[in-house]
Structure 1
Amino acid sequence: MSKQIQFTQTGSPDVLHIVDVPVAAPKANEVQIQMQALGLNRAEMMYREGAYVIEPVFPATMGYEGAGVVTAIGDGVSEFKIGDKVSVIPSFMFTEYGTYGEVVNMPAHAVVKHPDNLTMEQAAASWMMFVTAYGGLIEFGKVQKGDFVVLGGATSSVGLAAIQIAKMKGATVIALSRSHAKGDVLLEKGADFVVATQEDDVSAKLWEITGGKGVNVVFDPVGGKEAAKIINAMAQDGKYIIYGALSHDDIAVPVFPILSKHLTVRGYELFEITTVPEKLAQAKKFVFDGLASGQLQPEIDKIFAFDDIADAHRYMESNAQIGKILVRL
């Protein structure tokens, strides 16, 4: 038996509860993991609320991220052995798998060995954010040395990961935040400039920072009406990549800058990387090497106990975090 976090109706964090469930032996191409740390994800909050891309099937569990130790392997799995320290990369639906349990079965393609220099908590905080940022900035954004890169939602775990990856490539990083309250923190985390979307003239600041050249790549989880202010300050052949909809409003897209500057505006999902074997293999290598060398370092904000999962979700809803929220088992 294993303790698992479930919910039987959508709603506030109070719908989450812990139950004992039997754990089956791993099927073919599955790995069984004794979880030691979980990383929380906004998709889980949306799923719990009934506002995600798929509807919950009750009793529902969830969880995209985590780290632990392999305790059993299914037929056809050759790259792992019992005792391996591994992490989970989001590449499945909550109706299929979930990490919110003491012992879970995961598809082998979603499991990766992590470098020995990481603690379990650091490993649980790494893969989703770095693979997401890798896909947006490297695979699709093609960030180059000398580029000006704008990062929306920069204090999130993905935003902080994106700062590190963009700096690795030699880009100038412009972090966006709603106010300047977190500006010093973002500069400490590696951003070159901070623009406050509710306090600054965003277009004017971007033109000023880039010396009139404009922004080359935008990696944004917010979107909404404010997007036009960024797009108006983009460079020739610039790329605007949106990977979320935190504003809940339709993205505002001014047509003339797109036509005259040949801009690309595209949506991006992590699954574009994690469900394509070749791209996932490249992402795993990029992130593993970066973590092993210390060039990439996970940012952990706060760690909760497994029994306090509702409090962890409430904290995620507060938007007070800078970095990854974790649950320790």
Structure 2
Amino acid sequence: MSKVVRFHRVGGPEVLQIDDVDVRAPGIGEVRIKVKALGLNRAEAMYRSGQYTFIPEMPAILGYEAAGTIESIGEGVTEFAIGDEVNVIPAFSFADYGMYGELVIAPLHAIVKQPAGMTAVEGAATWMQFVTAYGALIDIGDLKKGETVLIRAASSSVGLAAIQIANLLGAVPVALTRTSEKRQALLDAGAAHVIATKEQNLVAEVNRITGSKGARMAFDPVGGAEVANILHSLSPLGIFFQYGALDTSEMRIPVMEVLGKNLTIRGYQLFEVTQDAERLSRAKTFITKGLESGGLYPLIAKTYPFERIVEAHQYMESNAQIGKIVIEI
């Protein structure tokens, strides 16, 4: 038996409970992992509250990221061995797998050996954020040295990862945040510029930063009314990535701006990369090299013990954190 976090009805953090569950043996192409740490993600809060892309089947498991030791392997697994320290990459559905547990099953394609020099806490805080940012900025967007990228909700783990990747490429990361409260923290995290969108004129600031050329790319998990201003801030042939829906209200699209600049507006999810073996392999290589060189590093906002999972979800929904929230087991 293993302790596993599940929920039996949708709702707030309080619906999460720790159940004793008999975790099955790994099947073909699977491993069973003794978890040391797991990372929290917004997608898990959306799934728990019934606002995800599909409805959970009760009792529901959840969790995209974990770090731990392989405890047993299934048939056909040759790349990994019992005792290997591994991290789990979000490359599966909650309908099939969930990482919130002491002992979990993971598919072979979703695991990677923990990069040298990293702890389990760091490993559990790494892959969602860096693969998400890599997929948009590099795999699809082909961000180049000297280009400007607008990064909304920049204090989130994915936003911070995007700042680091932009800096690694020699691009110019501009952090977008609602108020000036997190300005210094974002500058300390590597942002070249910070724009507080409730306090400053976004379009004017981007024009000032870029010499009126506009930003080549925008990376946004929020949506809503502010999207119109972001599109006004892009350069001709610019690309706008919508990778989340923290604001579910309708986006305002300035049609003449889109036509006049030949802009691309694109929905994006990291599964576009993680469910394609070749693209995922390139992402693993880029991120592992970045981590081992020190150019990429996960920022940890706070850690909690496993039994305080409800409190950890409450903290995630407070939006007070800068970086990743991690559960230690």
TM-score in terms of structure 1 length = 0.99
Kindly indicate whether residue 185 of structure 2 is the aligned counterpart of residue 185 of structure 1. yes
Structure 2 SS opposite 1:297: coil
Q: Which amino acid aligns with 1:95?
A: A
Residue-by-residue CA offset, 1:231-281 (whole Å, 9 max, x unaligned): 112111111111011111122211112112111110000100000010000
Residue-by-residue CA offset, 1:28-62 (whole Å, 9 max, x unaligned): 00011000000000111111111111111111110
Question: Larger deviation: 155-164 or 251-260?
Answer: 251-260
- Give how far 1:23 is off: 1.4
Residue-by-residue CA offset, 1:189-210 (whole Å, 9 max, x unaligned): 0001101111111111111111
Instruction: Quote the Cα distance in structure 2 between the aligned partners of 1:288 and 1:252.
Output: 38
Structure 2 SS opposite 1:146: coil
Provide the residue aligned with 1:25 in structure 2: 25
Provide the residue aligned with 2:291 in structure 1: 291
Structure 2 SS opposite 1:213: coil
Instruction: Quote the Cα distance in structure 1 between the aligned partners of 2:56 and 2:292.
Output: 37
Structure 2 SS opposite 1:23: coil
Kindly indicate whether residue 14 of structure 2 is the aligned counterpart of residue 14 of structure 1. yes
Q: Which amino acid aligns with 2:299?
A: E
Residue-by-residue CA offset, 1:207-245 (whole Å, 9 max, x unaligned): 111111111011111111101111112111111111011
Q: Which amino acid aligns with 1:180?
A: S
Q: Which runs of 4+ in 1 moved over 4 A?
A: none
Provide the residue aligned with 1:94 in structure 2: 94
- Give how far 1:85 is off: 0.6
Q: Which amino acid aligns with 1:181?
A: E
Kindly indicate whether residue 162 of structure 2 is the aligned counterpart of residue 162 of structure 1. yes
Provide the residue aligned with 2:215 in structure 1: 215
Instruction: Quote the Cα distance in structure 2 between the aligned partners of 1:322 and 1:46.
Output: 19
Provide the residue aligned with 2:232 in structure 1: 232
Structure 2 SS opposite 1:307: helix
Instruction: Quote the Cα distance in structure 2 between the aligned partners of 1:254 and 1:141.
Output: 22
Kindly indicate whether residue 68 of structure 2 is the aligned counterpart of residue 68 of structure 1. yes
Instruction: Quote the Cα distance in structure 2 between the aligned partners of 1:233 and 1:123.
Output: 35
Residue correspondence of structure 1 range 226-265 to structure 2 within 5 A: 226-265=226-265
Residue-by-residue CA offset, 1:102-156 (whole Å, 9 max, x unaligned): 0111110011112121000001001110010000100111100010110001000
TM-score in terms of structure 2 length = 0.99
Instruction: Quote the Cα distance in structure 1 between the aligned partners of 2:79 and 2:191.
Output: 38
Provide the residue aligned with 2:153 in structure 1: 153
Q: Which amino acid aligns with 2:23?
A: V
Structure 2 SS opposite 1:281: helix
Q: Which amino acid aligns with 1:107?
A: P
Q: Which amino acid aligns with 1:57?
A: E
Residue correspondence of structure 1 range 78-157 to structure 2 within 5 A: 78-157=78-157
Residue-by-residue CA offset, 1:293-329 (whole Å, 9 max, x unaligned): 1110101000001000000000001000000000000
Structure 1 SS opposite 2:60: coil
Instruction: Quote the Cα distance in structure 2 between the aligned partners of 1:244 and 1:158.
Output: 11
Provide the residue aligned with 2:302 in structure 1: 302
Sequence identity (%) = 51
Structure 2 SS opposite 1:269: coil
Q: Which amino acid aligns with 1:194?
A: V
Provide the residue aligned with 2:58 in structure 1: 58
Instruction: Quote the Cα distance in structure 1 between the aligned partners of 2:23 and 2:231.
Output: 50
Structure 2 SS opposite 1:228: helix
Stretches of structure 1 lacking an aligned partner (at least 5 in a row): none
Instruction: Quote the Cα distance in structure 1 between the aligned partners of 2:281 and 2:251.
Output: 32
Q: Which amino acid aligns with 1:150?
A: L
Instruction: Quote the Cα distance in structure 2 between the aligned partners of 1:18 and 1:186.
Output: 35
Instruction: Quote the Cα distance in structure 1 between the aligned partners of 2:116 and 2:170.
Output: 27
Stretches of structure 2 lacking an aligned partner (at least 5 in a row): none
Instruction: Quote the Cα distance in structure 1 between the aligned partners of 2:253 and 2:279.
Output: 29
Structure 1 SS opposite 2:20: strand
Residue-by-residue CA offset, 1:146-170 (whole Å, 9 max, x unaligned): 1011000100000000000001111
Q: Which amino acid aligns with 1:206?
A: V
Instruction: Quote the Cα distance in structure 2 between the aligned partners of 1:12 and 1:220.
Output: 24
Q: Which amino acid aligns with 1:154?
A: A
Count of matched residue pairs: 329
